Structure 1
Protein backbone atom coordinates (compact mmCIF):
# COMPACT_ATOMS: atom_id res chain seq x y z
CA UNK A 1 0.00 0.00 0.00
CA UNK A 2 1.29 3.46 -0.80
CA UNK A 3 2.20 5.62 2.18
CA UNK A 4 -0.26 8.26 0.99
CA UNK A 5 -3.10 5.73 1.32
CA UNK A 6 -2.16 4.54 4.81
CA UNK A 7 -4.11 5.54 7.90
CA UNK A 8 -3.14 5.47 11.58
CA UNK A 9 -4.14 2.21 13.24
CA UNK A 10 -3.28 -0.06 10.32
CA UNK A 11 -0.68 -2.79 10.93
CA UNK A 12 2.35 -3.74 8.87
CA UNK A 13 1.98 -7.25 7.44
CA UNK A 14 5.67 -7.63 6.59
CA UNK A 15 8.96 -6.28 7.88
CA UNK A 16 10.16 -3.09 6.17
CA UNK A 17 13.80 -3.05 5.04
CA UNK A 18 16.13 -0.30 3.88
CA UNK A 19 18.10 -0.73 0.61
CA UNK A 20 20.94 -2.37 2.57
CA UNK A 21 18.67 -5.06 4.01
CA UNK A 22 18.45 -3.61 7.51
CA UNK A 23 15.07 -3.96 9.23
CA UNK A 24 13.43 -0.58 9.71
CA UNK A 25 10.06 -1.76 11.06
CA UNK A 26 8.84 -5.20 12.12
CA UNK A 27 5.62 -6.80 10.93
CA UNK A 28 2.75 -6.10 13.29
CA UNK A 29 3.87 -2.52 13.93
CA UNK A 30 0.88 -0.19 14.21
CA UNK A 31 0.97 2.70 11.74
CA UNK A 32 1.14 6.21 13.18
CA UNK A 33 1.65 9.61 11.53
CA UNK A 34 5.18 9.63 12.94
CA UNK A 35 5.88 6.21 11.42
CA UNK A 36 4.67 7.37 7.99
CA UNK A 37 6.95 10.42 8.18
CA UNK A 38 9.89 8.22 9.17
CA UNK A 39 9.26 5.79 6.31
CA UNK A 40 9.02 8.69 3.88
CA UNK A 41 12.32 10.12 5.16
CA UNK A 42 13.97 6.72 4.58
CA UNK A 43 12.75 6.71 0.98
CA UNK A 44 10.13 4.00 1.47
CA UNK A 45 7.10 4.53 -0.80
CA UNK A 46 5.06 1.37 -0.22
CA UNK A 47 4.58 -1.21 2.53
CA UNK A 48 2.43 -4.30 3.00
CA UNK A 49 -0.54 -3.80 5.31
CA UNK A 50 -2.48 -6.59 7.06
CA UNK A 51 -5.53 -7.73 5.10
CA UNK A 52 -8.03 -6.54 7.71
CA UNK A 53 -6.86 -2.95 7.21
CA UNK A 54 -7.14 -3.28 3.44
CA UNK A 55 -10.62 -4.75 3.79
CA UNK A 56 -11.61 -1.85 6.04
CA UNK A 57 -10.40 0.62 3.42
CA UNK A 58 -12.38 -1.14 0.70
CA UNK A 59 -15.47 -1.12 2.91
CA UNK A 60 -15.68 2.64 2.37
CA UNK A 61 -16.68 1.87 -1.23
CA UNK A 62 -20.11 0.88 -2.32
CA UNK A 63 -20.21 -2.81 -1.29
CA UNK A 64 -21.65 -3.78 -4.67
CA UNK A 65 -18.76 -2.09 -6.50
CA UNK A 66 -16.15 -3.74 -4.27
CA UNK A 67 -17.82 -7.13 -4.79
CA UNK A 68 -17.84 -6.63 -8.56
CA UNK A 69 -14.14 -5.77 -8.53
CA UNK A 70 -13.32 -8.83 -6.43
CA UNK A 71 -15.41 -11.05 -8.72
CA UNK A 72 -13.59 -9.73 -11.79
CA UNK A 73 -10.20 -10.31 -10.18
CA UNK A 74 -11.24 -13.78 -9.02
CA UNK A 75 -12.14 -14.59 -12.61
CA UNK A 76 -8.84 -13.20 -13.92
CA UNK A 77 -6.86 -15.21 -11.35
CA UNK A 78 -8.99 -18.37 -11.65
CA UNK A 79 -6.25 -20.39 -13.36
CA UNK A 80 -3.53 -19.20 -10.98
CA UNK A 81 -2.31 -20.93 -7.82
CA UNK A 82 -3.82 -18.49 -5.31
CA UNK A 83 -1.83 -20.15 -2.49
CA UNK A 84 1.51 -19.08 -4.02
CA UNK A 85 2.96 -16.03 -2.21
CA UNK A 86 3.80 -14.17 -5.43
CA UNK A 87 0.29 -14.69 -6.81
CA UNK A 88 -1.17 -13.54 -3.48
CA UNK A 89 0.96 -10.39 -3.61
CA UNK A 90 -0.01 -9.72 -7.23
CA UNK A 91 -3.70 -10.27 -6.48
CA UNK A 92 -3.47 -7.94 -3.47
CA UNK A 93 -1.74 -5.26 -5.53
CA UNK A 94 -4.34 -5.52 -8.30
CA UNK A 95 -7.15 -5.36 -5.76
CA UNK A 96 -5.61 -2.40 -3.94
CA UNK A 97 -5.16 -0.43 -7.14
CA UNK A 98 -8.61 -1.31 -8.48
CA UNK A 99 -10.31 -0.29 -5.24
CA UNK A 100 -8.18 2.82 -4.91
CA UNK A 101 -9.00 4.02 -8.41
CA UNK A 102 -12.77 4.02 -7.88
Structure 2
Protein backbone atom coordinates (compact mmCIF):
# COMPACT_ATOMS: atom_id res chain seq x y z
CA UNK A 1 0.00 0.00 0.00
CA UNK A 2 2.83 2.45 0.79
CA UNK A 3 4.39 1.62 -2.58
CA UNK A 4 1.15 2.56 -4.36
CA UNK A 5 1.09 5.90 -2.54
CA UNK A 6 4.73 6.51 -3.51
CA UNK A 7 3.93 5.72 -7.14
CA UNK A 8 0.93 8.05 -7.20
CA UNK A 9 3.00 10.92 -5.79
CA UNK A 10 6.00 10.31 -8.07
CA UNK A 11 3.82 10.04 -11.20
CA UNK A 12 1.40 12.83 -10.11
CA UNK A 13 -1.63 10.55 -10.38
CA UNK A 14 -4.81 10.63 -8.35
CA UNK A 15 -5.31 7.93 -5.74
CA UNK A 16 -8.54 6.14 -4.83
CA UNK A 17 -9.06 4.22 -1.58
CA UNK A 18 -11.51 3.39 1.17
CA UNK A 19 -10.94 5.34 4.38
CA UNK A 20 -12.99 4.82 7.52
CA UNK A 21 -15.50 2.92 5.39
CA UNK A 22 -15.94 5.68 2.80
CA UNK A 23 -14.56 5.92 -0.76
CA UNK A 24 -12.07 8.75 -1.33
CA UNK A 25 -10.27 10.21 -4.34
CA UNK A 26 -7.29 12.41 -3.57
CA UNK A 27 -4.42 14.36 -5.04
CA UNK A 28 -1.51 12.97 -2.97
CA UNK A 29 1.18 15.44 -1.89
CA UNK A 30 3.38 13.84 0.78
CA UNK A 31 3.99 10.50 2.46
CA UNK A 32 5.94 10.27 5.69
CA UNK A 33 5.91 9.60 9.39
CA UNK A 34 4.74 11.71 12.31
CA UNK A 35 6.30 12.21 15.75
CA UNK A 36 4.28 9.19 16.89
CA UNK A 37 5.93 7.09 14.15
CA UNK A 38 2.71 6.69 12.16
CA UNK A 39 2.69 6.63 8.37
CA UNK A 40 0.54 9.49 7.10
CA UNK A 41 -0.27 10.97 3.72
CA UNK A 42 -1.05 14.65 3.09
CA UNK A 43 -3.50 14.88 0.19
CA UNK A 44 -6.25 17.08 -1.18
CA UNK A 45 -9.66 15.39 -1.16
CA UNK A 46 -11.10 15.83 -4.67
CA UNK A 47 -13.84 13.19 -4.76
CA UNK A 48 -15.66 10.43 -2.98
CA UNK A 49 -17.30 10.86 0.42
CA UNK A 50 -16.31 12.33 3.77
CA UNK A 51 -17.86 11.97 7.21
CA UNK A 52 -17.51 15.77 7.57
CA UNK A 53 -19.59 16.33 4.44
CA UNK A 54 -16.75 18.24 2.72
CA UNK A 55 -15.76 15.66 0.11
CA UNK A 56 -14.40 17.05 -3.10
CA UNK A 57 -13.59 20.48 -1.68
CA UNK A 58 -9.90 20.09 -2.54
CA UNK A 59 -8.70 21.00 0.95
CA UNK A 60 -5.55 19.20 2.12
CA UNK A 61 -5.98 16.60 4.85
CA UNK A 62 -3.86 14.07 6.71
CA UNK A 63 -4.75 10.44 6.12
CA UNK A 64 -3.58 7.60 8.36
CA UNK A 65 -2.07 4.99 6.03
CA UNK A 66 -2.95 2.18 8.45
CA UNK A 67 -6.67 2.63 7.79
CA UNK A 68 -6.49 3.08 4.00
CA UNK A 69 -7.85 0.07 2.12
CA UNK A 70 -8.30 -0.88 -1.56
CA UNK A 71 -5.64 1.68 -2.57
CA UNK A 72 -5.59 2.20 -6.35
CA UNK A 73 -3.43 4.51 -8.45
CA UNK A 74 -5.68 6.14 -11.05
CA UNK A 75 -4.72 6.93 -14.63
CA UNK A 76 -5.51 10.63 -14.57
CA UNK A 77 -2.68 13.01 -13.71
CA UNK A 78 -2.63 16.32 -11.85
CA UNK A 79 -0.45 19.43 -11.76
CA UNK A 80 1.35 20.44 -8.58
CA UNK A 81 -1.15 22.68 -6.77
CA UNK A 82 -0.17 26.27 -5.99
CA UNK A 83 -0.87 25.84 -2.27
CA UNK A 84 1.47 22.82 -1.99
CA UNK A 85 4.31 23.19 0.53
CA UNK A 86 6.95 20.51 1.00
CA UNK A 87 7.90 21.68 4.51
CA UNK A 88 4.86 20.16 6.21
CA UNK A 89 5.32 20.34 10.00
CA UNK A 90 2.99 17.38 10.60
CA UNK A 91 5.85 15.11 9.48
CA UNK A 92 9.13 14.31 11.19
CA UNK A 93 10.28 12.27 8.17
CA UNK A 94 9.16 12.78 4.57
CA UNK A 95 9.48 9.61 2.51
CA UNK A 96 7.99 10.82 -0.79
CA UNK A 97 6.85 14.27 -1.90
CA UNK A 98 5.82 16.12 -5.04
Q: What is the TM-score when the length of structure 1 is the normalising length?
A: 0.29
RCO higher in 1 or 2 (8 Å CA, sep ≥ 6)? 2
